[in-house]
Chain A
């Protein structure tokens, strides 16, 4: 590097830009000349401004005590009112649902979907990564269908399907589970549980959308685990299932965490399916309340509360990300680069 850059001074900026040591190493390289450092810092700050601009807008709104939309552009809060945060924590929606219930629902839904999708995806990814079988290509394409055909496009039949699964109280201590059993003819029965109108049903509907990314991301990583390790296990007499659970799964743990988290961002923010399926306020999730604020009463959005709620919804994801940053960056590309 040092040899090459000596004669570069008369070349144009772009060329010089790329002559810098971009290998990301530490210590061994030369120090960056100050003027270059300053130019780059300026570039970075401009990008930071671009990234932070909408975010500061939201933060400023959330700290305002007025519900109206700000008429002047303000990116630095001029008041630090926590009214909006207090309001959304006390009564997040017009319904008598507490913030904690919404938080619980969001957590249950996103962790449930994440965990189950991960379990299903890792076994599928293992099969695609390690076995050569008939129909492998075809089945792999099939796994990607949910990505091509988003659940929104399938919402009508999904609604009908999940809606048909109900526990009915037919009276006289008889409970029927439609569509498998039904009440005596003439008795409609009282609906005790409707799969469509439950977090469980919504979760089931969300799982298949979670699979393509999880399978793709995990398969890429599993491809990088040396086959020799499994062969060694085989020689020691481990069965195929033992190889999977005792050798492959532990090695894939970091990648499982990354995949879980990247999927989690999506489920945590999902509102379209819950909004279509759920009717009981006690089942609502945090992101649904965001939609509730801007979707229906679009003309009179309580801006400061919307902004406060946005920050509350985004916060857990940001915190987990910062904690896992390193693993995420290396996990995202593990498969692509080495496979």
Chain B
């Protein structure tokens, strides 16, 4: 570009070109530096201390602060925290299972429904599309409260519906399933390290309601960008609809769906307000995920040091997950490889 310019000019131009991206990134990193990285480092520091309510006023300069090395980490991993019903690896296993099963249900459902709504000549398409997305717009706290109500033992819609169904089949029984409080896992062999109580299934149903519309939205966008000629060419070549689906639709929406699935995974993995309001992690912490537990440590138990250590552990876990999924995303996202 600057072939005829003097060397000085070239150097200056090179310098400003080289520093330009950093200039553009500066605002983002200044904000994150204060709001994310500083607290993260602070958490790391206090994770080696017994930081508690007594130290809140003076922070790190508090005279009562004792440095206890890796005790918080050891306590968390071995169950030495003064907290009932807590086993780190059980919660971790559950958290992963929760996120993975959610995404595995939401993504295919979203794609199938998007395909359904993309059928040529279907009536009321626009109305369905507009209505189906409503769950995304409702505040999570409302969603969780309503679903908690639906799964209520006495007055919940689910039990009432099942009772009506039982009547239909001639049984006079009143169904009173303790959806959110029954601890005994209905399918004990599924995930033996982290028994899945009924509440898990109830939450899967509720989160299904919340989760597929977003995936459907993404899939709809992706479907609409596929050129019609591809399908026409395929049908001229004699490809069946199923072949078209697997050989045109799936590969072409994959680049859009994989990042959405990764995003959905991290979202489910840290789905704080939904879990917090639906079950509060109960019964007996069996539906607790990592973030609800750390919130409990801070808000109710005021064990800031332990919470710091816990946050660091969440961070490491999430980072590993992110790097792995990022790998997968990048490996498959590009158009040419798909």
Binding site for B on A (CB under 8 A): 1-5, 8, 14-26, 28-32, 37, 40-41, 43-44, 47-48, 50-55, 57-58, 69-73, 119-121, 123-124, 126-128, 130-131, 133, 136, 139, 141-158, 160-161, 164, 204-205, 207-208, 211, 213, 215-216, 220, 234, 240, 244, 265, 268-269, 271-272, 276, 287, 290-291, 294, 301, 306, 310, 313-314, 317-318, 321-322, 325, 328-339
Contacts and interface: CB of A to CB of B under 8 A. Distances in A.
B3 to A, nearest CB: 14
Contact of B222 (A136, A268, A314, A336): A336
Contacts of A1: 231-232, 235
Contacts of A152: 272, 291, 294-295
Interface string B289-311: 00100110011000010011001
Nearest to A3: B235
10 contacts: A18-B244, A37-B122, A51-B213, A148-B318, A157-B39, A207-B35, A265-B136, A287-B139, A313-B142, A328-B217
Contacts, number: 338
Interface of B: 1, 16-18, 20-22, 24-25, 27-29, 31-32, 34-40, 42-43, 46, 56, 59, 113, 115-124, 128-143, 145-147, 149-150, 155, 157, 160-161, 209, 213, 217-218, 220-226, 228, 230-232, 235-236, 238-242, 244-245, 249, 252-253, 255-260, 263, 266, 270, 272-273, 277, 291, 294-295, 298-299, 304, 307-308, 311, 314-315, 318-319, 321-323, 326, 333-335
A290 B141 contact: yes
Contacts of A334: 221
Contact of B294 (A31, A40, A153, A338): A153
A160 B56 contact: yes
Contacts of B143: 54
A208 B31 CA distance: 7
A306 B145 CA distance: 10
A22 B120 contact: yes
Contact of A133 (B21, B46, B321, B322): B21
A139 B123 CA distance: 47
A88 B295 CA distance: 30
Given A52-B131, A148-B321, A313-B139, 5 more contacts: A32-B120, A51-B131, A71-B155, A121-B28, A147-B266
B133 A47 contact: no
Contacts of B141: 269, 271, 287, 290-291, 294
A141 B321 CA distance: 12
B296 to A, nearest CB: 11
Q: A-B pairs with the 8 shortest C-beta distances?
A: A19-B241, A336-B256, A333-B221, A148-B318, A131-B21, A127-B24, A157-B39, A21-B120
Contacts of A22: 115, 118-120, 223, 231, 241, 244-245, 249
Contact of B272 (A150, A157, A244): A150
B221 A127 contact: no
A119 B138 contact: no
A290 B140 CA distance: 11
Contacts of B263: 213, 216
Contacts of A123: 24-25, 27-28
A44 B113 CA distance: 9
Nearest to A205: B35
A290 B138 CA distance: 12
Nearest to B33: A208
A126 B135 CA distance: 32
A51 B225 contact: no
A58 B304 CA distance: 38
B257 to A, nearest CB: 8
A18 B241 contact: yes
Contacts of A52: 131, 134
Given A133-B22, A332-B218, A29 B146 contact: no
Given A40-B116, A124-B24, A337 B273 contact: no
A62 to B, nearest CB: 11
A313 B259 CA distance: 29
A317 B132 contact: no
B315 A29 contact: no
Contact of B161 (A73, A144, A154, A290): A73
A336 B226 CA distance: 12
